């Protein structure tokens, strides 16, 4: 896009969070994303698909040689051990992942993951050589109470390891009330929040604030992606529902062509 206002130094990232959706029969969708990306369909953007962990190994062989990376949707803080049902960052890396989403609101609320747990998992991701996509975002009640900025500020302060860098950390601002609802904040509110997050990163990670990508997530669709991705300090998108079909996902990533 010619008129983007974000720092031209940051390569945009468009990541798809498949959540608990996806069986082997859905692997061709990933193959279609790889084919479209190989033809330049995402322009300057980096693409990441985060399918269920059960699909990562098969997806990795499909994505081999294609400009599409894979990610997990959470990880345990320990590398291995007696943690039935959990997956370590090392296991995700071994399966072919390059990224891991951490602190998604569905993990924070459904699995009681607080800021400290998210930070420990981010440290584990770094240890394993993964890049952590750390999610933050306020609830509707918090926004209506005028608490959005302090809530996100506290999440950032508690969740981000102090040794994070642009290679190891991506922030995703996902207002909880916008996830899967079809609702989005105004571009004014997104700009205000992303500017605030940029400032917070500068404070917590001196000298690294300008290089860390800040994604917007929450009901990003082909129809609104152009407008949302043009907002200042929005360096890409974390996409849920619309990442499940290659057509929609590539239409979103296509705003960076
Ligand atoms: C998400 O779950 O991270 C998300 C942004 O979902 P959706 O795009 O469906 O709102």
Q: What are the tens digits of pLDDT across the range 140-160?
A: 999 999 999 999 999 999 999
pLDDT beyond 50 at 3? no
Res 87: pLDDT: 98
How far is ligand 1, taken at its centre, from the CA of residue 207, in Å? 30
pTM of the model: 0.96
Orientation of helix 27-38 relative to helix 53-63, angle to 10°: 40
Give per-residue pLDDT as tens, 59-112: 999 999 999 999 999 999 999 999 999 999 999 999 999 999 999 999 999 999
State if residue 220 touches ligand 1 by the CB under 6 angstroms criterion.
yes
Alpha-carbon span 12 to 159, nearest angstrom: 22
Instruction: Give the residue, out of 49, 100, 184, 218, with the most ligand 1 atoms within 8 A of its beta carbon, to mutate for a pocket test.
Output: 218
Element (H, E) at 239: strand 236-239
Tokens of 219: 């009901």
How far is ligand 1, taken at its centre, from the CA of residue 158, in Å? 23
């Amino acid at each position: 896009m010619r008129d983007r206002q974000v720092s031209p130094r940051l390569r945009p990232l468009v990541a798809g969070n498949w959540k608990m959706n996806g069986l082997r029969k859905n692997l061709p969708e990933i193959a279609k994303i790889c084919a479209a990306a190989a033809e330049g369909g995402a322009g300057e953007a980096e693409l990441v698909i985060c399918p269920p962990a059960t699909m990562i190994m098969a997806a990795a062989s499909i994505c081999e040689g294609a400009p599409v990376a894979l990610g997990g949707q959470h990880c345990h803080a320990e590398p291995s051990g007696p943690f039935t049902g959990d997956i370590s960052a090392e296991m995700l890396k071994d399966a072919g992942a390059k990224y891991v989403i951490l602190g998604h609101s569905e993990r924070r609320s459904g699995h009681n993951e607080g800021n400290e747990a998210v930070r420990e998992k981010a440290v584990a991701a770094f240890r394993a050589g993964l890049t952590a996509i750390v999610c933050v975002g306020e609830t509707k009640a918090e926004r209506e109470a005028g608490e959005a900025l302090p809530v996100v500020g506290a999440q950032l302060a508690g969740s981000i390891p102090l040794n994070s860098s642009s290679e190891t950390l991506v922030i995703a601002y996902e207002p909880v009330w916008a996830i899967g609802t079809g609702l989005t904040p105004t571009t004014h509110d997104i700009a205000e929040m992303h500017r605030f997050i940029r400032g917070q990163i500068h404070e917590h990670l001196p000298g690294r604030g300008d290089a860390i990508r800040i994604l917007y997530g929450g009901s990003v669709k082909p129809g609104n992606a152009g407008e949302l991705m043009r907002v200042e300090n929005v360096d890409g998108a974390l996409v849920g529902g619309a990442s499940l079909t290659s057509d929609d996902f590539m239409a979103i990533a296509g705003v960076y062509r």
